Structure 1
Amino acid sequence: MTDLETIKKKVSTKPAISGGANFETHVLSQTRYGFKFKPSLGYALFTLLFVGVAYAFLYAGIASYLKTKTFEFLFSIVTVAGAAFFIAGNFLLLSYFSPIVFNTHSNRFYRGFNKQNPKKSTALSNIVALQIIGETISGENGNYKSFELNLVLKDATRMNVVDHGKLKTIIIDAEVLSQYFNLPIWHAQS
């Protein structure tokens, strides 16, 4: 049995990250030194909606206070809701607008702003395969499918690249990366 077959038997076929979106969150684009995933227009609008609601609530709360000069119950509710949307919106901005990069110049894959974080980066030479996994998510309005693109590393661990609801796009992105980096694609049963 080859090393690749041994790794394939060891690697998990469960989603690396539970949950996911039911729409396309990222788009693959080629760069001067490899590839990067950028947030999709739909995800950018979703994130900006959170931030917009946060500012609207905070503005309403502050305007209410300035008008009445008292801390009313409505002021408290509006301000707390605005703060919650503000925190969630900024978390979405930071986490989904952070870089997801395959850089051939530095020989690194990294996710996030710290290119050397061992939990979110690896040498490109450490990647042995690309893995696609689907899962069904139960939501308030029914079930939907979400799909992951993961990197499989030499030690049979995985590193998540993207997670979104467009299987066709995940497959196309995996094929582009597979051809460029000469990596097999493993479709996991899920």
Structure 2
Amino acid sequence: MLDKMKSWIKKMSEVEPFDASRFNDPLAERIDWVPLKRGGSNFHTHKMVEVDAHRLEFRPTVGARLFAGIFLAVGIFFPILFLVQGDADMESVGATVGIIAFGLVFAGAGGAMWYTMGKPRVFDKWAGMYWKGHKKPDLLYKPMGNEDDNKDKKDAAMLRDVHAIQLIREYVRSDKSSYYSYELNLILSDGSRVNVIDHGKKSEILEDAEKLGQFLGKPVWNMFGV
């Protein structure tokens, strides 16, 4: 219990003081200005791609694919290497199970990262929607505020409901390193937020937010400046 309290106090102390009134919008003062997605990476995970005049996508960078691919490759090839070329000590059932379990953990982590980061973040004016994934959802054509629609708001939104674009900075601290992670969220007209991307490349997320704002015709509410 004490450890949880210390962790909570530490997180609260890392929240930057911020006055949302500078955006001259009542909604800016009502919404949350804390990270929607805690943690975040310290490298550039997604890049903006202009598919055409009516569609923008955020796709994984080569570095993100490589990062996930390393975990996946280690999980697959490490057990094979040791089982094929291992010595007599590696032939016991316990050792074999341990190596396979090790491989499954790494392969599972790599596969999960590959799948999660591989989902495109799509802004489509023809569909009038934003969504995360390879397939466009069909449930967001219901009026905003419908309870059946809430489950889809985590990863999707109607473009007509987007009020602004929010940029937040989070200081991520661990035993081995500390860094800033930058988060881009959509602010909907009901005050809810939808996370789009979260990575460590400040210059890229600033540029992408401005392009997205121009594409949608919406303001960018930047918490941390330039």
Q: Same fold (TM over 0.5)?
A: yes
Stretches of 4+ aligned residues off by more than 3 angstroms: 67-73
Root-mean-square deviation (Å): 2.2
Q: 1:175 aligns to what?
A: 210
Pair 1:159 & 2:189 matched: no
* Residue 123 of structure 1, CA deviation: 0.6
For structure 1, the 5+ residue unaligned runs are none
Q: 1:124 aligns with which of 130, 147, 159?
A: 159
Matches within 5 A, 1:54-65: 54-60=75-81, 62-63=83-84
Q: Which amino acid is the alignment partner of residue 141 of structure 1?
A: K
SS in 2 for 1:29: strand
Q: Distance in 2 between matches of 1:115 and 1:71?
A: 49
Normalising by structure 2, report the TM-score.
0.76
Q: 1:104 aligns to what?
A: 125
For structure 2, the 5+ residue unaligned runs are 1-23, 138-151
Q: In the alignment, is the contact (CA less than 8 A) between 1:60 and 1:78 conserved in 2?
A: no
- Report how many aligned residue pairs link the two structures: 186
* Residue 70 of structure 1, CA deviation: 4.8
Q: Distance in 2 between matches of 1:175 and 1:10?
A: 23
Q: 1:51 aligns with which of 72, 77, 85?
A: 72
Cα displacement string for residues 40-60 of structure 1 (whole angstroms, at most 9, x for unaligned residues): 111111011011101112313
Cα displacement string for residues 135-188 of structure 1 (whole angstroms, at most 9, x for unaligned residues): 111123221110001000011111001000011111000000111211111122
Identity of aligned residues (%): 29
Q: Which structure dedicates a bigger proportion of its chain to strand?
A: 1
Pair 1:13 & 2:33 matched: yes
Normalising by structure 1, report the TM-score.
0.89
Q: In the alignment, is the contact (CA less than 8 A) between 1:51 and 1:90 conserved in 2?
A: yes
SS in 2 for 1:24: coil
Q: Distance in 2 between matches of 1:142 and 1:50?
A: 20
Structure of higher RCO (CA pairs closer than 8 Å, 6+ residues apart): 1
Q: Distance in 2 between matches of 1:60 and 1:179?
A: 52
Q: Distance in 1 between matches of 2:64 and 2:75?
A: 17
* Residue 114 of structure 1, CA deviation: 4.8
